[in-house]
Structure 1
Amino acid sequence: MNFAQLLFPDFSLILCGYLVCRFTKLNRTVWEQVESLVYYFLFPVLLFHSIVKSPLDLSAASSLVGAAISLAVCAIALTYSLPHWPLLGRFIDVRLHAASAQVGFRFNSFILLALADRVAGPQGLLMVAVIIGFCVPIFNIGAVWPMARHANKGFARELVRNPLIVATASGLVANLLGFSMPGWLEPTVNRIGQASLALGLMAAGAGMQFGSMAAGKALAAAVLAVKHFAVPLMAFGLARLFGLDPVQTAVLLTFSAVPTASSCYVLAARMGYNGPYVAGLVTLSTLLGMLSLPFALGVLGAPR
């Protein structure tokens, strides 16, 4: 399978979002509202529907969830170990690292959900929805913890109000209770899901911005190397360790190699850190995703 060709439509939408935002009157003010629409309504509907439309085999999903949680913990630990590396540590500003470490392990849910269906079909969306439900709280803890002394909102409150977590949790409960979407509602929900993927990808492109990267070149290189090289390698090893099947392996590798979350910039800026620097890292991560995804899926995920 030619993964570069497979991923081209999604990255084309990212490019379209960037060009539309930069060169038309549909600027960041417009796209901030689009992001809110996608994040608070369209994506939660997509996640809920992805979970309830197929029976969930908890025993089969347990290995994938275990691998994903292990990957999340390992990625967080590796990223936060960077200042303690013998040769690298002296070049890293501790405060800058606290703001940008999240780039090394968080993921862009817009891109992940769009790719899941393309890589593994409807079953891939279900798997990704389950992964999001378990891993988003872990990543949020990892992202906020080093900056917590500057937080101006209750941490636990932010977690329980996260729309992706709420949608996933409610979808899992509905699935286990045997709920199914009424037939007359299916076409509407399907179209909401299609709209969420396209708008989410374009919003990711519109959010790209190159900040001041001169403040910490060594840190930037290290964090991005963790995100786009080390984490996919860890995912490959964990897939073997947990005995995942080919579809589960493809989903885990996709999860490991997608660009970082665009909200990294928002979190860093809101908590009083160097927002422009983190924005630059997010943009570079989005671009590097065009290399890490073919590497993860085409090289590491190739049949052996």
Structure 2
Amino acid sequence: MRDTYKCAVYARPVNYAQLLFPDFSLIACGWLLCRYTALDRRVWDQVESLVYYFLFPVLLFHSIVKSPIDFGSATHLLAAGLGVGLAGIALAYALPHLPWLGRHIDRREHAASAQVAFRFNSFICLAVAERLAGAEGLLVIAVLIGVCVPLMNVAAVWPMARHANSGFLRQLARNPLIIATASGLVINLLGMQVPHWMQPTLGRLGAASLALGLLAAGAGMQFGALNRGKALGVAVLSIRHLVLPLVAWCLCRLLGLHGAQAAVLMAFSAVPTASSAYVLAARMGYNGAYVAALVTLSTLLGIVSLPFALSLPR
């Protein structure tokens, strides 16, 4: 059964494009709707707020709570996920200190855009994980999201708060993704469950968050600021789309991951960066347009990096 599954997931590169087409077509629809119809930025700003503050936290909470998490059997998966995340954070933080690169990097721009190197688009993660391995894939990605979202949100806020001398703990306490994942993990570990009569409603809200989140990611894409900070942009995007998939591949081999866990980890390592990265940067007083341009390019690069990561031999 395991060999059959692996053949189905890793058969031919062309299958990866077909697998990802529904997600990227929604992103393309969002981009077209925002730019060529009356559904302009005024509409999508509200959609982003709805998804970010309500729909997506509900999806995260429900994904974590609905299935008991056996941390004992997921030890290697958690180690690999944390390894990928910590590698991305360490590499992103190190960029200004590299002698051949640091002199070409503006420290303020780096504080805002370092997050692009290690954060991940959870909307795409959940959609791809479901297509790769169904319900088992959703549980695997829920474990990774539950552990890595708080870590990566802390790591994203830290350099900006430190550079701007703003309230670091206050920024964390108000983050809806951290609140949803932390509360979901607590309830799961306590053995509590969502009442059956609430599950259909939560499931439909979660499905809405996936579709609207992908549309909003497309609507938020911007191409205007890609000509500035080229060295920094190339560096953070190389970490996100080339180095981290290779790190995940090494960890899969080292820790003996296989089946759904390996497939989802590889996808997790190669998805585009979080579409909310530019919102976070703008709200903290940084150049949101530059970060949005990096998010845009990362979204496009995901079309290449996801098939690359999923096709690495194991």
TM-score, length basis structure 2: 0.88
After TM superposition, give the deviation of residue 114 of structure 1 in Å: 1.8
What are the within-5 Å matches in structure 2 for residues 206-285 of structure 1? 206-285=219-298
After TM superposition, give the deviation of residue 151 of structure 1 in Å: 4.5
Contact 2:44-2:219 at 8 Å conserved across structures: yes
Name the structure 1 match of 2:37.
24
Name the structure 2 match of 1:102.
115
Structure 2 spans left out of the alignment, 5+ residues = 1-10
Contact 1:259-1:285 at 8 Å conserved across structures: yes
Provide Cα deviations, 1:108-161, integer angstroms capped at 9, x if missing partner: 122222222112212222222222222222222322222224557532233233
Name the structure 1 match of 2:133.
120
After TM superposition, give the deviation of residue 249 of structure 1 in Å: 1.3
Contact 1:211-1:279 at 8 Å conserved across structures: no
Code of the residue aligned with 1:206 in structure 2: it is A
Q: What secondary structure sits across from 1:241 in the alignment? A: helix
Larger deviation, residues 230-239 vs 208-217: 208-217
Name the structure 2 match of 1:87.
100
Contact 1:133-1:164 at 8 Å conserved across structures: no
Larger deviation, residues 85-94 vs 66-75: 85-94
In 2, Cα distance between equivalents of 1:48 and 1:188: 13
> Are the structure 2 counterparts of residues 168 and 141 from structure 1 closer, same or farther at C-alpha, using a change threshold of 3 Å?
closer
What are the within-5 Å matches in structure 2 for residues 39-188 of structure 1? 39-149=52-162, 151=164, 154-188=167-201
> Are the structure 2 counterparts of residues 150 and 269 from structure 1 closer, same or farther at C-alpha, using a change threshold of 3 Å?
farther
> Are the structure 2 counterparts of residues 170 and 94 from structure 1 closer, same or farther at C-alpha, using a change threshold of 3 Å?
closer
> Are the structure 2 counterparts of residues 229 and 200 from structure 1 closer, same or farther at C-alpha, using a change threshold of 3 Å?
same
Larger deviation, residues 62-71 vs 125-134: 125-134
Are 1:289 and 2:302 matched, yes or no? yes
Structure 1 spans left out of the alignment, 5+ residues = none
Matched-pair identity in %: 68
Provide Cα deviations, 1:181-234, integer angstroms capped at 9, x if missing partner: 333333222222211111111011111112322222122112111110001111
Contact 1:48-1:168 at 8 Å conserved across structures: yes
After TM superposition, give the deviation of residue 86 of structure 1 in Å: 4.0
Code of the residue aligned with 2:257 in structure 1: it is L
In 2, Cα distance between equivalents of 1:184 and 1:96: 48
> Are the structure 2 counterparts of residues 136 and 52 from structure 1 closer, same or farther at C-alpha, using a change threshold of 3 Å?
closer
In 2, Cα distance between equivalents of 1:214 and 1:195: 35
In 1, Cα distance between equivalents of 2:57 and 2:94: 34
> Are the structure 2 counterparts of residues 163 and 147 from structure 1 closer, same or farther at C-alpha, using a change threshold of 3 Å?
closer
In 2, Cα distance between equivalents of 1:172 and 1:95: 34
Larger deviation, residues 191-200 vs 149-158: 149-158
**RMSD between aligned residues:** 2.0
Contact 2:162-2:168 at 8 Å conserved across structures: no
In 2, Cα distance between equivalents of 1:202 and 1:111: 11
In 2, Cα distance between equivalents of 1:107 and 1:13: 18
Contact 1:259-1:288 at 8 Å conserved across structures: yes
Q: What secondary structure sits across from 2:110 in the alignment? A: helix
What are the within-5 Å matches in structure 2 for residues 186-197 of structure 1? 186-197=199-210
In 2, Cα distance between equivalents of 1:211 and 1:188: 40
Contact 2:69-2:143 at 8 Å conserved across structures: no
> Are the structure 2 counterparts of residues 79 and 152 from structure 1 closer, same or farther at C-alpha, using a change threshold of 3 Å?
closer
TM-score, length basis structure 1: 0.91
Runs of 4+ in 1 over 6 A off after TM superposition: none
Contact 1:132-1:164 at 8 Å conserved across structures: no
Provide Cα deviations, 1:42-76, integer angstroms capped at 9, x if missing partner: 22222222223222211012221121112111111
Q: What secondary structure sits across from 1:295 in the alignment? A: helix
